[in-house]
């Protein structure tokens, strides 16, 4: 199989789709996003439904195919973070002042607190983000939240496929600017789409990215539910992956009222084995294209019972001004941190980013498709951040995976129909 990417179908069938959904927004007459239980949210492309221009826009904006930073970065970015963590103007640690949001949220509730501030004090119309599907709670859907109750209901990271860009049309048509929350690839896709659609650009009031080590398949959630006592998905009332404490437990509840729990560490340990391939060659795990990015400040041991905290990166002037306004208004409590806090908080993401150069080199050499990154340094990080053993692993380990995962073969999307 050739590794060249000429269409959205190539992206999906050649294992590069992140599942963001932006292609369905840009070419809705030809593309719809479906659930493939062993891969993730994936596009089904019908022939002849959309104009060539719409399909070309979709491919241009597709983060699975690749990502590109501008050649020059804004003034004031922290030079020590730029190569591995992208543009960062300021580093903060903090939490939502709203105790209920903070408790329910994944980390310190920074994402939800910023979103609530946007709704209540910045007259934004809504927040486009992810929540559990009401009819099938082990799947996710994109929702436009416009109240505190809706934001509260959607707190917590969902370690499962989600495609928040599939409803960007609602931001475009909104009567006022909106907030967009997503994983780094989702935010990169939304930003790229806004360059194609001025109406979206006008209404994309703020982008918030959550740090992301990778999206496990839906099959991984079904297995987790079994471990938590729900064997038949039809019996599930709700499933959460973390939150309600920091980091909180994974928890499933059946319709009969039975509950099962496992620690976040135990559940992520299993879930991460099922990450989609594209995440292994992802160069942006920390939301480099967002106004504000949030993750966990894991730089210290977290004693049991400690309320959540968020690591907050202001990445653009708009993000910095918004964060400061939210803090001044009392929506968040924050303390300034330095660059070292970022590195100490997410050492695994640094190693992962370091491995990308070796992984991409190997997949390409073996004839599989690989994403293209522009103005995102690869080799230097591989050289500096990895031990010799890790360097070798990025080459030999990837060769093994390329064959084991059959990355050189096309794989059509397998739609789950319920």
Ligand X SMILES: Cc1cc2nc3c(=O)[nH]c(=O)nc-3n(C[C@H](O)[C@H](O)[C@H](O)COP(=O)(O)OP(=O)(O)OC[C@H]3O[C@@H](n4cnc5c(N)ncnc54)[C@H](O)[C@@H]3O)c2cc1C
Residues present in the chain in total: 418
Contact 356, 282 (CB under 8 A): yes
Which of ligand SF4, ligand X, none binds 139 (CB below 5-8 Å, type-dependent)? Answer: none
Q: Which does 282 bind (CB under 5 to 8 A by kind): ligand SF4, ligand X, none?
A: ligand SF4
Nearest to 221 by CA among 191, 258, 184, 250: 250
* Candidates 62-70, 71-79, 200-208, 217-225; binding stretch for ligand SF4 (CB under 6 A): 62-70
Please tell me whether residue 64 binds ligand SF4 under the rule CB under 6 A.
Answer: yes
Sign of CA dihedral 287, 292, 294, 299: positive
Among 119, 160, 212, 378, binds ligand SF4 (CB under 6 A): 212
x/- track of binding to ligand X for residues 343-372 (CB under 6 A)? ---x--x-----------------------
Part in contact with ligand X (CB under 6 A); list of ranges 70-78, 176-184, 319-327, 403-411: 176-184
Separation CA 200–CA 40 (nearest Å): 26
User: Site residues for ligand SF4, window 215-254 (CB under 6 A)?
Assistant: 215
For residue 138, CA distances in Å to 37, 118, 129 come to 11, 29, 16
Which residues in 28-148 belong to E strands, given as ranges? 31-36, 40-45, 66-68, 90-96, 127-132, 140-145
Near ligand X in 178-237, by CB under 6 A: 181-183, 186, 210-213, 215
Contact set for ligand SF4, span 174-203 (CB under 6 A): 183-185, 189
Among 5, 12, 154, 292, binds ligand SF4 (CB under 6 A): 12
| Structure-block tokens of residue 73 | 């970065």
Among 18, 157, 249, 267, binds ligand X (CB under 6 A): 157
In the complex, the smallest distance separating the C-beta of residue 344 from ligand X, rounded to whole angstroms, is 12
Instruction: Tell me the C-alpha to C-alpha distance, in Å, between residue 12 and each of 6, 239, 275.
Output: 11, 28, 15
A 10 A CB-CB count for 147 gives 13
Question: Of these, 18, 112, 249, 362, which contacts ligand X (CB under 6 A)?
Answer: 112
Closest to ligand X by CB, 15 vs 183, is 183
Question: Is residue 243 left, alpha or beta, with left meaning phi > 0 and alpha meaning psi from -120 to 50?
Answer: left
Question: Can you give the binding site for ligand X, defined by CB under 6 A?
Answer: 105-112, 129-131, 154-159, 162, 164, 181-183, 186, 210-213, 215, 243, 294-296, 308, 310, 346, 349
């Amino acid at each position: 199989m050739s590794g060249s990417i000429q269409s959205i179908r190539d992206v999906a069938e050649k294992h590069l789709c992140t599942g963001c959904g932006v292609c369905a927004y840009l070419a809705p007459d030809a593309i719809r996003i479906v659930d493939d239980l062993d891969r993730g949210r994936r596009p089904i492309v019908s022939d002849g439904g959309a104009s060539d221009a719409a399909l070309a826009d979709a491919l241009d904006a597709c983060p699975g195919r690749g990502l590109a930073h501008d050649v020059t970065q804004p003034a004031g970015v922290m030079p020590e973070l730029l190569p591995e963590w992208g543009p960062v103007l300021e580093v903060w640690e903090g939490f939502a002042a709203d105790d209920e949001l903070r408790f329910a949220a994944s980390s310190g509730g920074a994402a939800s607190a910023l979103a609530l501030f946007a709704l209540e004090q910045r007259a934004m119309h809504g927040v486009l983000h992810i929540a559990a599907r009401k009819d099938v709670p082990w799947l996710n859907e994109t929702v436009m939240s416009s109240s505190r109750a809706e934001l509260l209901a959607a707190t917590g990271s969902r370690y499962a496929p989600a495609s928040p860009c599939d409803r960007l049309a609602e931001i475009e048509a909104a009567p006022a600017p909106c907030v967009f929350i997503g994983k780094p690839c989702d935010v990169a896709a939304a930003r790229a789409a806004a360059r194609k659609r001025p109406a979206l650009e006008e209404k994309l009031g703020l982008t918030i990215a959550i740090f992301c080590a990778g999206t496990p398949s839906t099959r991984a959630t079904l297995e987790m539910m079994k471990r938590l006592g729900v064997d038949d998905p039809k019996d599930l009332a709700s499933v959460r992956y973390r939150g309600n404490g920091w980091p909180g437990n994974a928890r499933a509840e059946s319709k009969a009222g039975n509950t099962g729990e496992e620690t976040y560490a135990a559940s992520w340990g299993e879930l991460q084995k099922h990450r989609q391939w594209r995440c292994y060659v992802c160069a942006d795990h920390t939301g480099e294209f967002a106004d504000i990015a949030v993750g966990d400040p894991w730089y210290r041991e977290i004693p049991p019972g400690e309320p959540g905290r968020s690591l907050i990166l202001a990445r653009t002037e708009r993000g910095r001004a918004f964060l400061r306004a939210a803090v001044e208004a009392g929506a968040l409590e924050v303390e300034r941190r330095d660059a070292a806090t970022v590195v100490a908080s997410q050492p695994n993401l640094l190693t992962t980013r370091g491995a990308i150069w070796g992984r991409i080199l190997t997949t390409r050499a073996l004839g599989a498709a690989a994403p293209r990154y522009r103005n995102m340094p690869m080799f230097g990080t591989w050289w500096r951040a990895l031990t010799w053993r890790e360097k070798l692993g990025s080459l030999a380990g990837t060769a093994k995976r390329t064959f084991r995962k059959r990355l050189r073969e096309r794989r059509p999307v397998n739609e789950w129909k319920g």
